[in-house]
A = this chain, B = another copy of it.
Amino acid sequence: MLTEILNHIREDQPAAIDRLCDYLKIPSVSTDPAFKEHCQTAARWTANQLSETGLETTIHQTTGHPVVVGQSKSAGPDVPTVLFYGHYDVQPPDPLEKWTTPPFEPTIRENRVYARGSSDDKGQVMCFIEALRAYQVRNIPLPVNVTVLIEGEEECGSVALESFVPQHADILKADIAVVSDTSMWDYGQPAITYALRGLLYFDVKLFGPSRDLHSGVYGGTVPNPATLLTRVLASLFDDDNRVTIPGFYDDVVDLDPAERDEWETLGFCDQVYGKSIGLDALFGEADFSTLERRWARPSCDVNGLYGGYMGEGAKTVIPSFAGGKVSFRLAANQDAIKIKQAFIDWFHANTPAGCTAKIEDHGHAYPVIVPRDSDYLSAAKRAVQHAAGKPPVLVRDGATIPVVSTFKTELGLDTLLIGFGLNDDNLHSPNEKFELENYKIGCLTHAALLYELANPSD
């Protein structure tokens, strides 16, 4: 029966590519109000697809763009319910002049489809929809219960979803969540991601004199917020590039030696990694490998600096304030709220005399890690083996997908992160593309996953 499904998907790929291209023609840019109607169109298009696959589908209007939910409970109470998450909205396509072909005219070259949203995330959403379609077309009942949740604000903060999930906890109730919004390890090497870092983001400002001052008349006598901001932010780190906030590392768990051994086999190369971003030297917390710093250690970055004179040439001003954007990536087991408070306390404690501090909190997301030995993960590994002819590697990701921690805290759900993108897919950049080979692997994987999740003992 699984073989029939998988063969159907293989045969139906040309049609599946056409459907994906239809989806990609909709310029559902969520951040720009000018594209609001297109987001509605994309929501309706998504809902139609889900209906076609036999799901009971609802478009939920929100304060922002709609949330689409499709459901099938036909598999009954004895098998798991899987909650699939994706998003139909896309990043703005700018700068347009850097696209070889227009961002909303999907074009196939060298077995890739080039279009905004092809990899992030419409192509990956379609992998799941095509898997559902195969069961429907072949008239084979879905092996598990399915809820599909497709939002339209992932690229602008998932504002509506944050309240939508707890408000609809009853209909979203499931046993396991599946998210396809990550990458494979490499060409031909699928991956399952079992951990994400959390996120804290702040805007911090130091205020000094009540107005901008002449640096000749006042220089050397007054607290300069720009000078002092560099001092405060610099003191966030010690000589080993460790964050100095008291208690920051308390809850970070050491990497399991078995995990470290597994990562060794991935063949990650510092030189290749550095070269891809123009760097001769990498950087970070002492005594940890690059992969460990990236995946299993917290980090802190100044994402922006501003204040005083920022134009060309010279202006001899002592600015009345200066600011910066400061963010943290949190490693597994760190408590976002606890670290948030620790940073705020630290910043106030380190605010120099003569200055006042203003801290704006731009939100938080908890880190997530899922058990590497669960039945669900085993099912996912088997599904990938069916689809790609080889097992996935298990990886972490340094980035954050806030909905994954929302699922954990609001719905008590672990998430399987099975993604079919690639690091060179140009997400958020011109010439975004999705490999058609990966599209096929994605469709096959999800079809097999639905089967395997119903057969945990296989």
> Chain A interface (Cβ within 8 Å of chain B)?
197, 199, 201, 203, 208-211, 213-224, 226-227, 229-231, 233-235, 237, 273-274, 277-285, 290, 293-294, 297-310, 313-319, 322, 324-325, 327, 329, 352-354, 362-363, 397-400
Contacts and interface: CB of A to CB of B under 8 A. Distances in A.
Contacts of A294: 217-221
A359 to B, nearest CB: 13
Given A230-B302, A279-B209, A303-B308, A293 B215 contact: no
A290 B221 contact: yes
Given A216-B399, A293-B220, A399-B217, A314 B325 contact: yes
B303 A305 contact: no
A226 B279 contact: no
A445 B400 CA distance: 71
B277 A303 contact: no
8 contacts: A211-B277, A216-B400, A217-B399, A220-B298, A221-B398, A302-B308, A302-B322, A305-B308
A305 B229 contact: yes
Contact of A221 (B210, B293, B314): B293
Given A278-B211, A309-B325, A327-B215, A224 B315 contact: no
Contact of A398 (B220, B226, B353): B220
Given A277-B209, A306-B306, A301 B399 contact: no
A395 to B, nearest CB: 12
Nearest to A214: B399
A302 B199 CA distance: 30
A216 B397 contact: yes
Contact of A362 (B208, B209, B314): B314
A18 to B, nearest CB: 32
Contact of A220 (B235, B304, B329): B329
Contacts of A354: 279-283
A354 B220 CA distance: 32
